[in-house]
Amino acid sequence: MTESAPVITAQLANDQIDGSSGPLLPNMQAKLMDPITGKEITSYNTPGELWVCGPNVTIGYLHKQKETKETWTFDEQGRRWLHTGDEVEVRRSEKGQEHYWIVDRIKELIKVRGFQVPPAELEALLLSHEIIEDAAVIGIHDDYSGELPKAFVVLKAGMKASKEVESQIKKFVEERKARYKWLSGGIEFIDSIPKTPSGKILRKDLRLREKNKAKTKGAKAKL
């Protein structure tokens, strides 16, 4: 993170695990916070927002008091904690090291009738389908549920989008996930998922795409 200038964890040469971000760097402190209750999570394998404290962490955003107040918190000991916005689990390795695993982004969690739906969980499931090359999931507005999961799907070469394929994918998810995690927001087939050079999904681009689509529909309705 830029705010941590820029490293918090790193893999160890003698204790590497695929998918892990590694243990904390020296002089760094961390804790996981429940985003709903605001209480600290002290058990392993339990997701929460990662807060970090250390000499490399910046003191705030220049001329942005509101954003600074929302992102940093002082505790009773005067330590300044950075809210990373990452949903993280701490898991012990076979060698006893505490490894940090990034599960999702707190701000990207989809909230369906009060239930939290991690987009990465649905994306991982979709990528396991034999006809799907790539996928991304965002939350779209719904008056009743608040949000609903919508999937953007890239099909493998030779596959063509159709209502039958859409129904097949929806059924695939419904057979494996709780009802509030179903793709009730729909499925849209696209040529490629927008990503950063490092491979991170640009959900904001997908949300903007959805917003513009809604505006176009509204304009047509007025006509």
| Same domain for 99 and 171 | no
The number of domains in the chain is 2
Distances (CA, A) of 12 to 8, 9, 52: 13, 10, 19
| Same domain for 141 and 73 | no
Residue in 111, 105, 91, 119 with CA at minimum distance from that of residue 193: 119
| Same domain for 191 and 100 | no
Pair 178, 165: CB distance under 8 Å: no
| Same domain for 127 and 177 | yes
Structure-block tokens of residue 134: 């790539």
* Residues facing 116 on adjacent strands: 111
Residue 35 is predicted with a pLDDT of 82
Distances (CA, A) of 211 to 104, 154, 158, 194, 218: 23, 20, 30, 16, 11
Nearest-angstrom CA–CA distance, 81 and 100: 17
Start-to-end CA span in the chain (Å): 47
| Same domain for 129 and 102 | no
Q: Which of 46, 80, 106 is the last residue of a domain?
A: 106
Residue 198 is predicted with a pLDDT of 80
The domain of 81 spans 2-106
Q: Which of 106, 141, 170 is the last residue of a domain?
A: 106
CATH of residue 73's domain is 2.30.38.10
Cβ-in-10-Å burial (0-12, 13-18, 19+) of 162 comes to: exposed
Residue 223 is predicted with a pLDDT of 45
Under-70 pLDDT residues of the chain? 218-223
CATH of residue 127's domain is 3.30.300.30
| Same domain for 91 and 134 | no
| Same domain for 76 and 144 | no
Residue 37 is predicted with a pLDDT of 87
Total residue count of the chain as it appears in this document: 223
| Same domain for 163 and 206 | yes
Ranges assigned E (strand) in the chain? 29-33, 40-41, 48-53, 72-74, 80-92, 98-105, 110-112, 115-117, 132-142, 146-155, 187-189
Q: Which of 106, 125, 147 is the last residue of a domain?
A: 106
Q: Is 204 helix (H, G, I), strand (E, B) or coil?
A: helix
| Same domain for 212 and 114 | yes
| Same domain for 198 and 128 | yes
Distances (CA, A) of 71 to 43, 60, 61, 74, 138: 24, 8, 9, 10, 23
Residue in 140, 135, 188, 5 with CA at minimum distance from that of residue 82: 5
| Same domain for 66 and 156 | no
Q: Is 57 helix (H, G, I), strand (E, B) or coil?
A: coil
| Same domain for 186 and 102 | no
pTM of the model: 0.65
